[in-house]
Amino acid sequence: MQEIEQYLTDHRARNENELFELLRMASVSTDSQYAAEVAKAGNWVADQFHAMGFTTEVVQTKGHPIVYAETPAVAGAPIVLVYGHYDVQPPDPLDEWISPPFEPVVREGNVVARGATDDKGQMLTHIKSAQAWMDTAGSLPVQIKYVIEGEEECGSSNLEPFLEEYRDRLACDIAVISDTSQFAKNQPAITYGLKGIVYFEVFLEGPKQDLHSGTFGGSVYNPLNALTQMLAAFVDDQGRIQIPGFYDDVVELEQRERDQFAALPFNEQQFKDKVGVDTVHGEAGYTTLERRWARPTLDINGIWGGYQGEGAKTVLPGKSGAKFSCRLVPNQEPEKIGAAIEKMLQDLVPNGIRMEVKHHHGAPAVVVDLDSPYMAAAARAIEQGFGVAPVFIREGGSIPVVTVLRDLLGVDTLLLGWGLDDDNTHGPNEKFSLEDFYRGTKASASLWQEISKIKRAVE
Amino acid sequence: MQEIEQYLTDHRARNENELFELLRMASVSTDSQYAAEVAKAGNWVADQFHAMGFTTEVVQTKGHPIVYAETPAVAGAPIVLVYGHYDVQPPDPLDEWISPPFEPVVREGNVVARGATDDKGQMLTHIKSAQAWMDTAGSLPVQIKYVIEGEEECGSSNLEPFLEEYRDRLACDIAVISDTSQFAKNQPAITYGLKGIVYFEVFLEGPKQDLHSGTFGGSVYNPLNALTQMLAAFVDDQGRIQIPGFYDDVVELEQRERDQFAALPFNEQQFKDKVGVDTVHGEAGYTTLERRWARPTLDINGIWGGYQGEGAKTVLPGKSGAKFSCRLVPNQEPEKIGAAIEKMLQDLVPNGIRMEVKHHHGAPAVVVDLDSPYMAAAARAIEQGFGVAPVFIREGGSIPVVTVLRDLLGVDTLLLGWGLDDDNTHGPNEKFSLEDFYRGTKASASLWQEISKIKRAVE
């Protein structure tokens, strides 16, 4: 391992430059105008594997390609599946970026660019760690199967068909994903629980076109009045979600978990300062960490309608729309919650308004086994990479692939986060610490070693 | 009058071409990027007056200029003030225009362009009627003072200071404005009542920037959740406004007015077909015409926040905002209602959300004397121009200048609408019937004659 660490130190600048290269590709998967950039980023990832001599395929799908690569088999050692994604969120709102989102710059030790932490920077650590093994030892101590997709930010709709088709080739013992956060700066974490999600878009239409609000006000249902009334019905001002049956299947936190969360070095004032609010808000009766990690939520993600320009325009708009999503916790079924939301929308939409509902991707929450030897191996590897033992936490984000990997391949996933929760994932000025890029790569290199010591369960 | 009518028939094409010329100027006053086009339109109007030899001034203001012109004094005859505006509403939403908003085209006898009816086309009738008198009789039978402003669509904030400064020069007996509608095609109307207005913008801020809705959901107040909850509190689903004290000063309709409205040839099914709804909606207990003309309303005019692009973005936005306005009826004071709205917003804004409130222009409702000789003169002139006697109606729109003219100059206003209520004022594909442009100009020419027969009240 010492030789590998030295190699990673010697090649730090090269690895960073390659990350910047990848960050310059505007691989926004949700928006079709970026399709060429998405393809370019996928090919770039494939070239990394080709260069190491790994069996590599750029698998075409109905959407963006999946890059698949595998390293040589290692007799007696576990097989690891690494999942990551090379696509990124849209960069909006553009005017809040200090520097352009696809021109990476280093500020205060961080690389700032869309995708820096989610997931290009984190994903690349598991490629660069393999390269370190190949260039020093000439081989890896475990077999790694890489699945790097280009549609994570738009619902991964072609991932599951791929995983089904490649199911036999993907046989493995454990999955590894780095697409989460450390608990805090210099306090790495292993995330053992993730929330699920359901995501909706609602489109309302009233009059067939925009009308003068003076001449027509009082005669037709204004689609913006209707939209605000409908959305307001979903959550009360205590953060309690009003969807019928929403809390029926929720698994309440165990006292042991509440105690663990409470013992973490979480400073609420620092948290408030960091996000820029003077008070936290959420479901009454739970702490901030409990709400973020283990209680379901509903957030409106976007809304539009009428006149958004400068000044006063007295329009009664013909259309309005919104996007909103619920984060789900263990045992809530996305299909059941989704159906309840659809029914509630249908019950709420007033006469005089036509509605179209678009139900996007959904995924259930997942909690991963804390007591497996893989979890212990990951903890040791992280301690070697970061010099600090990890804490075990949960996370409010959704990584649907974790559920799919469990359901299709029967494996648990190690969620090893190298990011920080102020990395502005999905927001402007997304960043990733270059020190953590380096330490994450070291931890990844150690992980292959630690996992190689585990006797394969199936042998 | 026959000679004048012949002149207007002979010069119909020229007058229409000049209207198209004016419509090609994108004089959007609410948006500073159009400032040069606004100035160009103002100068074009001034050139019309110059060409007729009228005393003309382009009066600079803190905003867009006011064009002032006066025709020679006529001893013993009343003085008429004509008010109009050469600015227009923004053309949004652009993608719903069949042809570009500032490239007038004729479709089905209508000129289609932003400003066609509101107010370039209607305003121009009172200029072209004067030109007809000048070119045939060599003089006008009454003195006309023209005030044509460029800020009607952005609150007319510099009009009142102008009217105060020019008060003595503006002394007059009656005002005339054509910025309203006929009751229906071939059924001209004189509008004797207008609603008032208060207009607000609300800006909410939660976290200092957009956050990941998974990682941060449940920890901070989402400014979009807050906005929808706040706005939904303002109106119930029966169209009843929930602002404390809102209805206290409302003058209820007299039975006589309800009877008059009920006698008008209003076909609700045709109305629904025209605006494209399958059911009307508004305050319970009132007919559609009563609600449109004489009951106060609240409409959200625009809303924004979060991700509005294609696909699903799981963002917890840092900001949100909305524009909304109330239409007021006689006796409701804009200041009092405005204060009640501000207080309600302050009471509603939750902890964890910072709010900025922008209170735009306000105006009280107005009802004009039905029994004056000027009203009778206008009725005769309209019958001469259109071949049909007008009906007397009210209107949901606001023309704040009517109040200002009453308060500052002590005069009533004749609201002589040449438009139609499906002219798409403020919406895409705004239009104005060229036949009504012609008939309105004839009616205007007759109006100068009819008013000249009235003995001046002050003599």
**Among B217, B179, B198, residue whose Cα is nearest residue B405:** B179
Mutation choice for B interface testing from A119, A228, A247, A431 by most B CBs within 10 A: A228
The domain made up of B196-250+296-361 is a member of CATH 3.50.30.30: no
Partner B, chain A 223-252, Cβ-Cβ below 8 Å: 224-225, 227-229, 231-233, 235, 237, 239
Residue A2: count of CB within 10 angstroms of its CB: 7
Backbone angles phi, psi at A415, to 5 degrees: -100, 100
**Where in chain B are all domains bearing CATH 3.30.70.360?**
196-250+296-361
pLDDT of residue A368: 79
Amino acid at B253: L
Contact A303 B227 (CB under 8 A): yes
Distance from CA of A227 to the nearest CA of B (A): 8
Say if residues A37 and A28 touch (Cβ distance below 8 Å): yes
Amino acid at A381: A
pTM score, two decimals? 0.77
CA B199 to chain centre: 14
Residues of B in Cβ contact (< 8 Å) with A316 = 299, 301
| CB-count exposure of residue A435 (10 Å: 0-12, 13-18, 19+) | middle
**Among A38, A46, A44, residue whose Cα is nearest residue A70:** A46
Cis peptide upstream of residue A93 (ω within 30 degrees of 0): yes
Q: Looking at the DSSP assignment, which residues form a beta bridge with residue B202?
A: B322, B357
Contact B219 A280 (CB under 8 A): yes
**Where in chain A are all domains bearing CATH 3.40.630.10?**
2-194+365-452
**CA-CA distance, B391 to B402, in Å (whole number)?**
20
Under DSSP, is residue A7 helix (H, G, I), strand (E, B) or coil?
helix
**CA-CA distance, B269 to B272, in Å (whole number)?**
5
Q: Which residue has the tokens 């006149």?
A: A307
Q: Looking at the DSSP assignment, which residues form a beta bridge with residue A80?
A: A144, A174
A331: left (phi over 0), alpha (psi -120 to 50) or beta: left
Nearest Cα residue in chain B from A181: B215
| CB-count exposure of residue B265 (10 Å: 0-12, 13-18, 19+) | exposed
**Where in chain A are all domains bearing CATH 3.30.70.360?**
196-284+291-362
| pLDDT digits 0-9 by tens, B305-363 | 999 999 999 999 999 999 999 999 999 999 999 999 999 999 999 999 999 999 987 88
pLDDT of residue A459: 46
Tokens of B356: 């900025």
Hey, what CATH topology would domain A196-284+291-362 get?
Alpha-Beta Plaits (3.30.70)
pLDDT of residue B265: 87
**CA-CA distance, B448 to A188, in Å (whole number)?**
85
The mean pLDDT value for B151-155 works out to 91
CB proximity B154 to A under 8 Å: yes
Picking from A215, A306, A320, the nearest residue to B421 by CB comes out as A215
CB proximity B116 to A under 8 Å: no
Q: What is the DSSP letter of A96?
A: G
Residues of A in Cβ contact (< 8 Å) with B308 = 302-304
Say if residues B186 and B386 touch (Cβ distance below 8 Å): yes
CB proximity A419 to B under 8 Å: no
Tokens of A459: 């042998």
Reported ipTM exceeds the 0.95 cut: no
The mean pLDDT value for B412-417 works out to 94
Q: Looking at the DSSP assignment, which residues form a beta bridge with residue A112?
A: A105, A431
Residue A165: count of CB within 10 angstroms of its CB: 11
The domain made up of B2-194+365-452 is a member of CATH 3.40.630.10: yes
Q: What is the DSSP letter of A253?
A: P
Q: Looking at the DSSP assignment, which residues form a beta bridge with residue A145?
A: A70, A81
Q: What are the Cα distances from residue B393, in Å, to B265, B268, B270, B292, B294? A: 12, 17, 19, 11, 10
Residues of A in Cβ contact (< 8 Å) with B89 = 313
Per-residue pLDDT of chain A (459 residues), as tens digits, is 899 999 999 999 999 999 999 999 999 999 999 999 999 999 999 999 999 999 999 999 999 999 999 999 999 999 999 999 999 999 989 999 999 999 999 999 999 999 999 999 999 999 999 999 999 999 999 999 999 999 999 989 999 999 999 999 999 999 999 998 999 899 999 998 899 999 999 999 999 999 999 989 999 999 999 999 999 999 998 889 999 999 999 999 888 889 989 989 899 999 999 999 999 999 999 999 999 999 999 999 999 999 999 999 999 999 999 999 999 999 999 999 999 999 999 999 999 999 999 998 788 998 877 788 999 999 999 999 999 999 989 989 877 789 889 889 999 999 999 999 889 998 999 999 999 999 999 999 999 999 999 987 554
Amino acid at A106: V
Under DSSP, is residue B10 helix (H, G, I), strand (E, B) or coil?
helix
Distance from CA of B28 to the nearest CA of A (A): 11
CB proximity A313 to B under 8 Å: yes
Q: Looking at the DSSP assignment, which residues form a beta bridge with residue B335?
A: none
CB proximity A397 to B under 8 Å: yes
Say if residues B192 and B394 touch (Cβ distance below 8 Å): yes
